[in-house]
A and B are shown apart, each in its own frame.
Chain A
Amino acid sequence: MLIKQAKIWKFISSLKLAIWLLGIIALVSLIGTLIPQNEEEVSVYQSWWFILLIILFALNLSACLLSRLSLKNRPLGTLICHFSVLVILLGALIGMLFGQKGYLKLSRQEKANSFMASESKEVNLGFSIRLDDFIYNENIDPKEKLLIYSIQNDAVCQMDGASHKNGEEGLIAKIPTDPGTEREISATGYKIKVLRYLPDFVMDIATKKVTSRSSQANNPAIEVELRDKNGARESFWVFARYPDIHQSKTPNFNFVYHWEMRRPKDFISRVTIIKDGLEVLKKEIRVNFPLQFGGYSFFQSSYDPENLNWTGLTVVRDPGVSLVYLGFGLFILGLCIRFYINPFFKTLKK
């Protein structure tokens, strides 16, 4: 019986088993990336048998460590490395057992004091979070410009307007399209300012109200304000896709909106934390800059390009993270000792 137990212990604590387990876990993980995964299905990595493999690996690793727990023939670095893997796995286990993760969808001015950690499990935060504003910014490509052509008062030129637009002939200014800055149209006495940009211009025929149908660039347009020498203003829209239908009443200029693909720059959720009826914290949540409060972290995770009135926040509480990070640090320390610090001292001794 004892012989049998000793044999089992020898097997469990063997490096041979460790290498096989590493190989099998690697192979299974690899296959997991190749099979397409549905959101509804449980992935390979969450299946019971994969977790069983990892538990086996942890047991094997513990046994390896226990059976070789002497600094004489095991260098310190190696011990730290293997121990730290156990620390990381323990941190992950604590996260799995005691952590909470969910999703919170907030419209402007909406408050929430709980979130759904799964379909049926509601978690109470112990405070409220209110979305004050959601801001979506885009990068304007430096090549994007409003081109302004002067129109001479002869009929030939007017008729020939289309060819003007393609060439440099008659081009008197290239105006950047960032809104809010008034710029002079080179020595004409006129000033121009971009008021706003809409990626998908649409006008309600009945009310003449202008909106953006979506944030997809289906019909990019800018509203500009033109001011003449006397200070008289007029504002009108210029379309990237329809260069001939701007409504300027000034006969001197022709406008061409040279639009370039815009890329997302920022998603910002401005939120307020309310505890016991008091506003205790106001903060911006951005990608890479989560908000931490009361043991929970809020991450900017989604938004709707068609409707910028709400934001999607991921809410996480993971008590295992600090252990995982400790394991990370120990692992690197162990590797450095094993591969660099130890050999360095060995060469010194020689």
Chain B
Amino acid sequence: MNSTYLNIAFVMYFLATVFYCVGLFFRNKFLPLLGRVFILSGVLSLTLYAAMRWQVAGRPPLSNMFESLVIFAWAIGLVLLFIDLRYKIKSVSGLTALLGLLSLGYASFLDKELTPLLPALKSNWLTIHVLTCFIGYAGLTVGFIASAVILFKQKEIAKLDTIAHKVIAFGFLFLTLGIITGAVWANSAWGTYWSWDPKETWSLVTWFIYAIYLHIRFTKGWKEQKAAWLAVIGFLAMLFTYFGVNYLLSGLHSYG
């Protein structure tokens, strides 16, 4: 399959990262604007790439690690566009674009071969489950970035804290949708909606950490730095749910 659009997207994410980051050091309106244009082009290229792959393979391109990384980068770009339009914080936008770029970079090392779906994945739940999970992951990732910036910056902390809270609430909603669609799918494929498989358990652990994050902001009034540390821990758990479970633990969910 032709990977032109994937390569274009890689270049776009790279340029977006560069322009956002250069924009940090110069008071120039056009640098972040260009960053936004590049990230939009990157998201569009990835959309085209995924659509082509879907057409060629005759199935949604959501079935292995390579395809999931592409979708992850796509979802990150999408959330980034919203955050950038609304809050215009160059450091958050730049670092988010960088993470999207890293996801595409990692994908480029993996096997791009088109393989037919395993019987377990042949279901309409595949698309909705994977999309909700990865939109959730993308939200939590941007939440992590905003929180990490809080830990290193002295300015604009209140605004960053609002971004982190809102985007984590968004990510939490989609993570919940991802877990629920996964449970409903598991019930229609295997007859159990929950079997404490490592992927399921780790997604629940991640979910618990973010549930604590959302509660502790009210009860203990944890905001800014303290809440930011919890968002970092939640992000690490999310990364383990995504990568660690596949590479280090074995289970039902061995496809990506």
Contacts and interface: CB of A to CB of B under 8 A. Distances in A.
A22 interface: yes
B235 to A, nearest CB: 15
A139 B118 CA distance: 10
Given A267-B119, A288-B122, A332-B180, A339 B170 contact: yes
Nearest to A316: B191
A26 B204 CA distance: 7
Contacts of A259: none
A33 B184 CA distance: 22
Contact of B196 (A18, A45, A297, A339): A45
Interface stretch (B14-22, B71-79, B205-213): B205-213
A107 interface: no
B190 interface: yes
A297 B191 contact: yes
Interface string B157-181: 0000000000001101100110010
B202 interface: yes
Q: Decide if the interface of chain B is mainly helix, strand, loop or mixed.
A: helix
Interface residues of B, number: 41
A88 to B, nearest CB: 10
B120 interface: yes
Given A30-B205, A286-B119, A335 B172 contact: yes
B120 A332 contact: no
Contact of A32 (B170, B190, B196, B211): B196
B189 interface: yes
A160 B6 CA distance: 45
A134 interface: no
Nearest to A343: B166
Contacts of B176: 331-332, 335
B204 to A, nearest CB: 6
Contacts of A265: 116, 119
Contacts of B190: 299, 301, 314
A172 B131 CA distance: 46
A229 interface: no
A290 interface: yes
Interface string A230-271: 000000000000000000000000000000000111110000
Given A22-B211, A290-B188, A321 B193 contact: yes
Interface of B: 115-116, 118-120, 122-123, 125, 169-170, 172-173, 176-177, 180, 183-184, 187-194, 196, 198, 201-202, 204-205, 208-209, 211-212, 215-216, 218-219, 245, 249
Given A15-B215, A325-B184, 14 more contacts: A19-B215, A22-B208, A22-B215, A26-B204, A29-B201, A33-B245, A43-B196, A263-B115, A265-B119, A316-B191, A321-B187, A328-B183, A331-B180, A335-B176
